[in-house]
């Protein structure tokens, strides 16, 4: 069955065999079971696709999120290095980061949770999936013949991103050391 029912239009029995017997996809969707997005569309959560934002706005959003992630790392490291027993900000930040990671992971498991827990997970899933609605990496990646599928391209970006944040943080601390 189609993972996103609204993406699959199915087969028109009145047209006979002059159509793709795998069925047709709604606008913005393509591929088997309509789980891929067409060019100019970006992947959301739950096998949904949405139109790409303008290129300049998309790049600005990605740069801002990259800088905010770096600032979070700098703040986390700075509060940890202060080491004061009264300074609990570093501890709170680490606990919050661990909670968000765990909540995002638990939401992906499709288990038979009680209704109240499922409601809580729905709220957490909306919060944790904001980045996929806000950032459209798919729109920056080349598509078409001879290119890697977007899922592989995104895997490379996700693998490189933490290293880039570490390099940015080391650079920041190097500049701070030069000023001192």
| Residue 144 CB partners (closer than 8 Å, separation 6+) | 39
160: pLDDT confidence band, cut at 50, 70 and 90?
A: very high
SS3 call for 24: strand
Taking the model in full, what pTM does it have?
0.61
Residue 24 bridge partners (DSSP): 10
What pLDDT does residue 92 have? 83
SS3 call for 29: strand
Q: Is 21's pLDDT higher than 60?
A: no
What pLDDT does residue 30 have? 85
């Amino acid at each position: 069955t189609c993972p996103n029912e609204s993406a699959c239009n199915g087969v028109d029995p009145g047209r006979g065999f002059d159509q793709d017997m795998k069925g047709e996809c709604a606008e913005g969707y393509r591929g088997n079971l309509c789980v891929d997005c067409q060019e100019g569309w970006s992947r959301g959560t739950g096998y949904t696709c949405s139109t790409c934002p303008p290129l300049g706005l998309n790049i600005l959003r990605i740069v801002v999120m990259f800088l905010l992630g770096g600032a979070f790392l700098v703040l986390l490291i700075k509060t940890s290095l202060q080491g004061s027993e009264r300074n609990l900000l570093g501890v709170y930040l680490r606990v919050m980061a661990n909670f968000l990671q765990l909540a995002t992971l638990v939401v992906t498991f499709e288990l038979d949770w009680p209704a109240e827990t499922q409601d809580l997970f729905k709220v957490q899933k909306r919060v944790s999936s904001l980045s996929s609605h806000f950032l459209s990496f798919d729109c920056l990646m080349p598509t078409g013949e001879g290119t890697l599928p977007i899922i592989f391209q995104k895997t490379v970006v996700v693998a490189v991103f933490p290293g880039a944040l570490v390099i940015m943080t080391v650079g920041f601390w190097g500049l701070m050391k030069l000023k001192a």
